[in-house]
Amino acid sequence: MHPIVKNGLRFIAGMAILGVGLFVMNGLISLKEELPVSDRPVAPRAVRVWEIRTSECTPLTPIEGRVEAKYRMDVMSEATGNLLMGGKEFREGTSFQMGEVMLALDDSETRTSLVAQRSQFLQLLSVHLADLRFEFPNQRSQWDAFVDGISVEQLLPNLPVSSSQREQLFLANRGVLASYYGIRSAEERLSKFTIRAPFDGTVTTATVRPGALVRSGQMAGTLVGGSEYEVKTAVHTRYLSTVRRGDSVVFKNENEQIIAVGTVHRLSGNVDAATQSASVFCRVNGVPEVPEVLRDGRFISGEIRSESIADAIEIPNAWIDAEHRVYIVVNDTLRSRAVNVLFQSRKYSIVQGLEEGTALLSEVLASSFDGMAVTPELAEPFE
């Protein structure tokens, strides 16, 4: 047989054997019973929920800042003279009451000169007193009382009010008015040798010593009031929607003890571009029951208690996503709901938009989704 024919018969026989094998294999496979396919049941996850009860919620804005005295004055001398010794000395830590003498400069030369000026003025009036009585008889009693009230050692009394322009010109032409107001100017200048406390306070810095020469315009020290204080703090823009002038302020120490109370006094009209915060100024006073004393420069922290928000709930920030949505449980299924966030602090938020009695998911689930089957367990909101 020709080799080509032989190879062809071998190929046909191989293909026949392969076909018979495939037919037999398919028949065996068809005889095998198919097993039913079903999804594996998943047990609902147990979750904690909180039954919503709306109420009045008070926004508490955290603040911190340094205490600044409401009254502060740099004490400067407007006269030149030696600082007198004796009495209460102007030194750091010394307290003065309002109106009490803090600095007294030697004014003997100026005072003697003023006595001489008053004597000359009295002499001038004596020369023209007879003419005043004759020209203006209706003013005679007032001028007599004025002259009798002049003492060269005391301040001049008030000048009688002129009854007419003629009387005023009479006094001006004879130099009475110029001499009188010259003395009053000297008296005002003499008063600057004594510096009195304009308010109750304590000296925090003193740059002069008794007996030393104090020059006009020289800084003598600093007086700080000790009764009323102000705290300047920066409030982030997310809190500004609830902070109002007149809101109460409470400051506490490290032991959570209240050391100062007050109110929001002023709010800045602009926001710092770098920090996105606005300055808020709080007027505060110390608490008498607490022995701690507020001092200028002390750093304290507290909170602003704004007006309460009605029909709201307070929940942790972790329960709210970036889109201001929370999960509630309806028929053992999680449902996503949008809420209106009215106030948000570092830890919690005050929101509205959920009905009374709604079961709110009170924990954070990493795998939660809308429609997830759950088994709710009632729990407190801040466990």
pLDDT tens for the chain, 383 residues long, are 566 766 666 767 777 777 777 776 776 666 655 555 555 666 788 888 888 888 899 999 999 999 998 889 999 999 999 999 877 889 998 999 999 999 999 999 999 999 999 999 999 988 888 888 888 888 888 888 988 899 999 999 998 888 889 888 988 988 999 999 999 999 999 999 999 999 998 999 999 988 889 999 999 999 998 778 899 999 988 888 889 999 999 998 888 888 889 999 999 888 989 989 999 999 998 887 776 678 888 899 999 999 998 999 999 988 898 889 999 999 889 899 999 999 988 888 999 988 888 899 888 888 888 888 888 888 865 54
Tell the residue number behind the tokens 């010259």, with chain if given: 182
**CA 204, CA 26: separation in Å to the nearest integer?**
106
**CA 230, CA 296: separation in Å to the nearest integer?**
9
Does residue 265 contact residue 285 with C-beta atoms inside 8 Å? no
The reply to whether 208 and 96 lie within a common domain is yes
User: Residue 193 has what pLDDT?
Assistant: 93
Tell the residue number behind the tokens 């009230």, with chain if given: 149
Last residue of some domain: 305, 331, 351? 305
Q: From edge to edge, which strands make up the β-sheet containing 45-51?
A: 333-338, 325-330, 359-361, 45-51, 374-378
| Number of domains composing the chain | 4
Which residue from 225, 196, 219 is spatially nearest to 207, judged by alpha carbons? 219
To the question of pTM greater than 0.85 for the whole model, the response is no
**CA 201, CA 225: separation in Å to the nearest integer?**
4
The reply to whether 235 and 293 lie within a common domain is yes
Q: Which two tokens stand for residue 175?
A: 């130099």
Q: From edge to edge, which strands make up the β-sheet containing 95-96?
A: 72-76, 219-225, 201-206, 95-96
Beta-carbon contacts of 273 under 8 Å, excluding residues fewer than 6 positions away, are none
User: Residue 31 has what pLDDT?
Assistant: 65
Tell the residue number behind the tokens 């509630």, with chain if given: 328
Last residue of some domain: 166, 191, 216? 191
The reply to whether 158 and 270 lie within a common domain is no
The reply to whether 324 and 217 lie within a common domain is no
The reply to whether 246 and 140 lie within a common domain is no
The reply to whether 125 and 265 lie within a common domain is no
The reply to whether 275 and 142 lie within a common domain is no
**CA 155, CA 364: separation in Å to the nearest integer?**
82
User: Residue 383 has what pLDDT?
Assistant: 47
The reply to whether 136 and 159 lie within a common domain is yes
* Helices 108-135, 176-191: crossing angle, 10 deg rounding: 150
Does residue 88 contact residue 96 with C-beta atoms inside 8 Å? yes
